[in-house]
Structure formats: C-alpha cells, structure tokens
Amino acid sequence: MTVKIDGKAIATKVKAEVAVEVEKLMDLGVTPGLAVVLVGEDPASQIYVRNKQRAAEKLGIDSQTINMPADTTEATLLAKIAELNADPAIDAILVQSPVPAQINESRIQEAILPSKDVDGFHAYNIGALFANKHQYYPVANTPRGIMTLLAEYDIDVAGKQALVIGRSILVGRPMMAMLNNANATVTLAHRFTQNLDDLLATADIVVVAVGIPNFVQPDNLKKGAVVIDVGINRMDDGSLVGDVAEDVHEQTSYITPVPGGVGPMTIATLMQTTVELAKSHMKIENEG
C-alpha cells in the first residue's frame, strides 16, 4: 500500500523547531531578518510572497517585502540588493522569481551576498553544495525540504538508483547533488534525454519537476518506487495537479501528494535557512 508523504505535518514540525531557535536568538537580542524583493505584479508571485511573509511573522522573523514596479531597471534592482547586502538587520535576501524580461535573473542571483543568499542560488553556494560542503552554506530550499521528507519517513537513499527529471537551478540540479551527497546513484534527465522510459523503469527514487501535468504515468514506474512530485499545475477547471498522474499509487511505495506534499516544505525550509543565516552572522560578529 502506498504511503502518502505528509508534507504539511513535517513542515509544521520544522516550523516549530524554527520557532524555538528564533526564541533563543531573541533572548540574545537578535531577531532574524528576511528581505523578499518582488518586481512587478505577477499574481502567483504575489501569493508566494504573501505566504512567505505570513510564515515569517508567525515565527517571529522580521520579514520585509520590497515591492518594485514591473519597469524597474536592472541597475535599480542591483542598487537595492547592494543596500540590503549592507544592512546588518537583514540576514537573508530573496528575489522572487520570475523577474521581468529586462532583468538578467542570473546577474541578480550573483549580486546577493553568498552569506545572505537564502535561496542557495549563488554560484559560490552551488559550488559548495556540489563539493559536499553544504553544511556551512545555504542550499536550495525545495530540494533541501525533499531531503527532510525522505529522512522523516526513514527512506534511505544510499545505494539506490535515483532519477531526477528536470534540471533547473531551483530544483533539479541541486536535488541531484544532494542525493549524490547522500550516496544515491543519480541520473539527471531533461528534455534531450532519449531513454526516459528505461530510466523510470529502473529508478528506486523519482523526483519530478517539469511543470507538465501528469507527465509520469503508472506504467512508466518501477514497482515500489518512491515518487516525489514537485510539480503544481493549475488546470482549466481550477484544480491543482502534479507532474505525476494520480493513479500511480499501485506502483509506488511512497508518494508526495499535490497539493500538501513538497510545497509546504519549501517555505518551512526557507524559514529554517533564514534562522541559520542569522546564527552564522551572529557567530561572525562575536568572533570579530
């Protein structure tokens, strides 16, 4: 029987642990600070930013949302990031994706100080992850949240065949690195992959992040596979579906539902990383 991985419950547990750490920091006179920059008025982005702000406020994190118009120039956004980099009250900086076309998103990610890069997208932090030194640096929150889910359900990835479908810097590539660091044998598939059906048929763990509804079907999967569905797609009738078909349950041993699986973990892990960055900044100040 397939076990549904309860992302909401694990996220609640993570946030409770974060709240304890925030309280400890506040006893020392430190309030973790998160700055979220939103450029433009994309409705989905506004919802994501609002959810992050609410989560931060509930945990006692000082969260600032900086709204900038859609016609903001790259130079103006870079100047704002430089200001936040220099602000000692800000421990973590996030620029909500996507940004308008006139802005080079990669350049923006590289402008954030690695020590304040709460998303883990700076090349310095990505390099640390691939070098397996990520214990000391921030990493991408969605893959980190997935690793937490696997650990909470005692799913050992060591020695397993893991397949990651989708190679974005948000999920796929850091997910590959984290699974590899945990001693899985990892294959990263993308739109040029020729033998995807063969890879799915032999994978013990499958992480799907392609943004295509029902992309993975039950007859693709190995019996007993652990399936992590990162996709969240809104259909014409308003319903939300993942990248994995709902009727895969007879083939899987564990699966994350959509919604309620991976999604809640992303925000919980973002809060966790923010507090960790605040701790690291406090340590640097004390050592200085």
Angle formed by the axes of helices 123-130 and 172-181, nearest 10°: 30
pLDDT of residue 1: 79
**Is 168 annotated for ligand binding?**
yes
Q: Is the separation of the CB atoms in 212 and 243 below 8 Å? A: yes
C-alpha closest to that of 229 among 246, 205, 249, 209:
209
**Is 146 annotated for ligand binding?**
no
**Cα distance between the two ends of the chain:** 55
119 as an active site residue: the answer is yes
**Is 63 annotated for ligand binding?**
no
Domain boundaries, given as residue ranges, for the chain: 28-133, 141-263
pLDDT of residue 258: 96
CATH code for the structural domain at 28-133: 3.40.50.10860
- From the candidates 15, 96, 160, 272, give the one annotated as an active-site residue: 96
Q: Please enumerate in sequence order all residues whose Cβ is within 8 A of that of 43, keeping only pairs 6 or more positions apart, or say none.
A: none
Tokens of residue 107, six digits: 């350049």
C-alpha closest to that of 242 among 264, 221, 261:
261
Q: Is the separation of the CB atoms in 32 and 25 below 8 Å? A: yes
**Is 29 annotated for ligand binding?**
no
pLDDT of residue 282: 86
pLDDT of residue 131: 96
Q: Is the separation of the CB atoms in 179 and 224 below 8 Å? A: no
Q: Is the separation of the CB atoms in 161 and 204 below 8 Å? A: yes
pLDDT of residue 284: 61
- The per-residue pLDDT string of the chain (288 residues; one tens digit each, 9 = 90 and over) reads 799 999 999 999 999 999 999 999 999 999 999 999 999 999 999 999 999 999 999 999 999 999 999 999 999 999 999 999 999 999 999 999 999 999 999 999 999 999 999 999 999 999 999 999 877 899 999 999 999 999 999 999 999 999 999 999 999 999 999 999 999 999 999 999 999 999 999 999 999 999 999 999 999 999 999 999 999 999 999 899 999 999 999 999 999 999 999 999 999 999 999 999 999 998 766 654
- From the candidates 6, 15, 52, 109, give the one annotated as an active-site residue: 52
Label residue 30 left, alpha or beta by phi (over 0 means left) and psi (-120 to 50 means alpha). Answer: beta
Cis geometry, peptide bond prior to residue 259 (ω within 30 degrees of 0): yes
Q: Report the CATH architecture of 141-263.
A: 3-Layer(aba) Sandwich (3.40)
Q: Please enumerate in sequence order all residues whose Cβ is within 8 A of that of 163, keeping only pairs 6 or more positions apart, or say none.
A: 186, 187, 189, 199, 200, 203, 205, 206, 207
Cis geometry, peptide bond prior to residue 264 (ω within 30 degrees of 0): no
E strand segments, the chain: 3-4, 33-39, 62-68, 92-95, 161-165, 185-189, 205-208, 225-229, 233-234, 240-241, 252-255
- From the candidates 119, 204, 229, 243, give the one annotated as an active-site residue: 119
